Amino acid sequence: MKPLFARCAGWLLLSLAAATLPAAAQDSRAYPSQPIKLVVPFPAGSLVDVLGRSLGEALTASLKQPVVVDNKPGASTLLGAKIVAAAPPDGYTLFVPTVTTMSMAPQLVSRPGIDPLKELTPIARLGATNFFLSVHPSFPARTMKEWIAEVRKNPGKYSYASSGNGSPHHIFMELLKKELALDIVHVPYKGSSSSMPDLLSGKVDMAFLDGTLAIPNIKAAKLFALGTSMAKRSVLMPSAPPIAETVPGFDWSGWIGVAGPAQMPPAVVNVLAGEIRRLQGTPEFAELLNKAAMEPTEPIAPAQMAEFVRKEHERWGPAIKVSGATQD
């Protein structure tokens, strides 16, 4: 038998070894041990809220801890981002950011009050929002080539609606106008839904619309889709050709993801990313995206998500400058 001193020393070393395990290793074993707050920077009932709540329900079941949605709309999603950035980076405060949060809003205002690239930890990408270039049925074009020719022939005659200054709907059209040397009058509205009566009546001629508004009206022959903003053909409406088939390089979308505060333990990030990846492989998640009129995206690891967010931020900057949009 070992002397008492040797046995005590051995126990002490084991205790010290356990106490000095990397924080990430300890966190991964215990996480989660309490409810998780999921901050959604949009009002209850919005598309992002519905997706966030469905994600919360799925994570509640798989992680065996309640995931509670906390709606914090405001400041173009930056209010919610600031709340999450200020929370402890322990995995118990999560966030549902969009392209607006990570790429657009910080570059549309002079004092955003947050740098999402430095103050948030990207975890996963949930899906993408395709935008349909939709025209009133009376518009004399049925292809992108015909549309370009018609607009060029009649500078300043046609108008387009957007959901507001600095919105994707606005920026996408301004990019096309710049690249193709087109003159189309911008008519901003307070949200895409507000523009629909004028678009459906022909008071305005065209708009980029997300699938929730575009697809039902296209199927009802109230609007016609000339093309989509994503270069990849839409899963939701394969008959609509990508604009990139006529304007090479045009490839834009919205997207929704999951993030947390900066400096989260990698092991906790990996636990969350793994659960979300598993969820993305289920038929239920595919149906959820379809109901939300979102395009599926390939699941990516947290490191890839961080790189994706960085590249998105870089490419949106010049696009915003082309549009001349600000939100100050």
Q: What is the pLDDT of residues 64-113, one digit of tens each?
A: 999 999 999 999 999 999 999 999 999 999 999 999 999 999 999 989 99
pTM given for the model: 0.87
Give the residue ranges of the chain where pLDDT is below 50.
1-27
pLDDT of residue 29: 65
**Amino acid 325: pLDDT:** 84
Residues 6+ apart with CB under 8 A from 310: 117
d(CA 129, CA 294): 5
Q: What is the structure's pLDDT at 19?
A: 42
Q: What architecture does CATH give domain 131-245?
A: 3-Layer(aba) Sandwich (3.40)
What is the spatial distance between Cα 89 and Cα 14, in angstroms, rounded to a whole number?
A: 28
CATH 3.40.190.10 boundaries in the chain: 131-245
pLDDT at position 23, please?
A: 45
Strand order in the sheet with 206-210: 185-188, 159-162, 206-210, 131-135, 224-228
CATH number of 31-129+253-323: 3.40.190.150
Eight-class DSSP state of 33: S
Q: Look up residue 243 and give its DSSP letter.
A: G
Give the pLDDT confidence score for residue 28 in this predicted structure: 54
Q: In what order do the strands lie in the sheet with 254-261?
A: 67-71, 36-40, 93-95, 254-261, 120-129
Size of the chain in residues: 328
Every domain of the chain with CATH number 3.40.190.150 lies at 31-129+253-323
